[in-house]
């Protein structure tokens, strides 16, 4: 099981989020900027379509009212319009232009295509009548009127198409701004979170250091208090604290053995003093052999009891020595 409250884990987690967020911001910004460049190209093509419709109509009227047969500019404008319309519909791999970006723009392109077919048909009829049967003035005039009528409708729809492309590009620009602002807010929150985590780590380390200093400066080691940490403390600090607490428990255990052995020794010494006093009293008060024998038996019992207590004290002191040896060994292991 992975410990999520490790100091290293917290640092790695914050660093990973920071790197991911920065990479996302940079990558998304670069991608959307490239898309905006292509959108600008599409807007330019759509705007040129609007200009070409006007150019075609102007050439029609110029040829009609000046009775000329020069269709070079007219044909060039028609070819450019057709090429631009195909680019908007199907994209252009060489220029990096993709197909229609939205459903609404696709529908508008279809509408412009239908209007262009009718408009282009009138242009072709105008050219045909002008070249072959210029005497058909009425029919030619009807075609010119139709061109004028359909040109206005076509121009309005192309203008609507330009507006759609412009709005689509502006939406992307607004998305970039929103994304950047949101990323900035997330970065700020991540910065605050990092400060809080660092402050928490600093607080836990400071508590640990204060306890360590208290432990070093404390001259009375008879009853050391184990280190208590908060539940959310980092695992590295918890591990070190557990080691110190184990060390403290061994010291307290050794001190308990030492105190108990000292108490047993004091009791044994007291018993021996009582025994000595008893012998002195016996020697002074005994008058006959039977009474002396009785008191000697009592004294023998007291000596045996004192001997047993001394043996227990010896065992206690032996255990104390073992505990102290283990304590020294633990200290050496911690230093190494």
List pLDDT tens digits, range 91-133: 887 777 777 778 898 899 999 999 999 999 999 988 888 877 7
- The alpha carbon dihedral of 63, 64, 69, 75 has a sign of positive
Domain-ending residue, one of 175, 200, 225:
200
Distance in angstroms (rounded) separating the CA atoms of residues 280 and 287: 14
Q: Is the pLDDT of residue 159 over 60?
A: yes
- 296 and 166 in one domain? no
Report the CATH number that the domain containing residue 33 is assigned in CATH. Answer: 1.20.120.1730
Range of the domain at 320: 235-335
% of the chain with per-residue pLDDT over 90: 15
For 212-231, write each residue's pLDDT tens digit: 666 666 655 555 566 565 54
Helices (H) and strands (E) in the chain, counts: 6, 0
CA atoms of 111 and 260, how far apart (whole Å): 104
pLDDT of residue 3: 46
Q: Note the maximum CA span of the chain.
A: 178
Residue 57 lies in a domain: yes
Q: Are residues 20 and 160 in the same domain?
A: yes
Query: From the centroid of its chain, how far is CA 298?
Result: 84
Q: Which pLDDT tens digit goes with each residue over 227-254?
A: 565 545 556 566 666 666 666 676 666 6
Q: What's the rounded mean pLDDT across residues 63-71?
A: 83
> Are 240 and 196 part of one and the same domain?
no
Place of tokens 């940079």: 26
Spatial neighbors of 181 by CB under 8 A, at least 6 apart, are none
Instruction: Give me the chain's average pLDDT, please.
Output: 76
- Bridge partners (DSSP) listed for residue 97: 92
325, pLDDT greater than 70: no
Mean pLDDT, to the nearest integer, of 71-89? 91
Task: Tell me the β-bridge partners of 92.
Answer: 97
Which tokens hold the place of 67? 């009775």
Helix ranges, 67-136 (H): 72-90, 103-132
Instruction: Note whether 248 and 178 are same-domain residues.
Output: no
Q: In Å, how far are 15, 27, 189, 332 from 185, measured between CA atoms?
A: 17, 18, 6, 51
Position 112 in a domain: yes
Residues 14 and 125 in one domain: yes
pLDDT band, very low/low/confident/very high, at 191 (cuts 50, 70, 90): confident
Q: Under a CB-based contact definition with an 8 Å cutoff, are residues 125 and 107 in contact?
A: no
Point out which residues pair with 15 in neighbouring strands.
none
- Kindly write down the DSSP assignment for every residue of 168-211, as one continuous string: HHHHHHHHHHHHHHHHHHHHHHHHHHHHHHHHHHHHHHHHHHHH
What is the rounded distance in angstroms from the CA atom of residue 319 to the CA atom of residue 231?
A: 36
């Amino acid at each position: 099981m992975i410990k999520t409250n490790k100091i290293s884990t917290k640092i790695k987690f914050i660093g990973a989020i920071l790197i991911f967020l920065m990479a996302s911001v940079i990558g998304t910004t670069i991608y959307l900027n490239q898309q905006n460049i292509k959108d600008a190209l599409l807007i330019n093509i759509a705007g040129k379509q609007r200009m070409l419709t006007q150019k075609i109509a102007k050439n029609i009227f110029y040829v009609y009212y000046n009775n000329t047969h020069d269709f070079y500019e007219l044909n060039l404008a028609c070819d450019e319009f057709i090429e631009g319309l195909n680019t908007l519909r199907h994209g252009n791999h060489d220029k990096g232009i993709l197909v229609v970006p939205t459903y609404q723009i696709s529908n508008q392109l279809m509408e412009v295509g239908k209007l262009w077919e009718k408009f282009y048909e009138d242009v072709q009829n105008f050219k045909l009548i002008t070249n072959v049967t210029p005497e058909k003035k009425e029919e030619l005039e009807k075609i010119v009127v139709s061109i004028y009528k359909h040109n206005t409708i076509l121009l309005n729809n192309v203008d609507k198409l330009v507006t759609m492309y412009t709005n689509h590009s502006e939406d992307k620009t607004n998305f970039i701004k929103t994304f950047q602002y949101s990323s900035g807010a997330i970065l700020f929150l991540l910065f605050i979170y990092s400060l809080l985590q660092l402050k928490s780590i600093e607080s836990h380390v400071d508590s640990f250091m204060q306890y360590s200093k208290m432990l070093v400066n404390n001259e009375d080691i008879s009853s050391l208090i184990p280190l208590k940490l908060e539940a959310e403390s980092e695992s590295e600090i918890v591990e070190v604290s557990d080691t110190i607490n184990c060390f403290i428990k061994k010291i307290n255990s050794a001190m308990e053995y030492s105190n108990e052995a000292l108490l047993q020794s004091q009791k044994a010494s007291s018993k021996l003093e009582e025994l000595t006093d008893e012998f002195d009293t016996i020697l002074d008060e005994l008058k006959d052999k039977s009474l002396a024998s009785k008191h000697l038996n009592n004294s023998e019992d007291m000596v045996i009891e004192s001997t047993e207590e001394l043996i227990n004290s010896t065992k206690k002191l032996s255990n104390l020595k073992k505990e102290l040896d283990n304590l020294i060994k633990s200290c050496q292991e911690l230093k190494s």
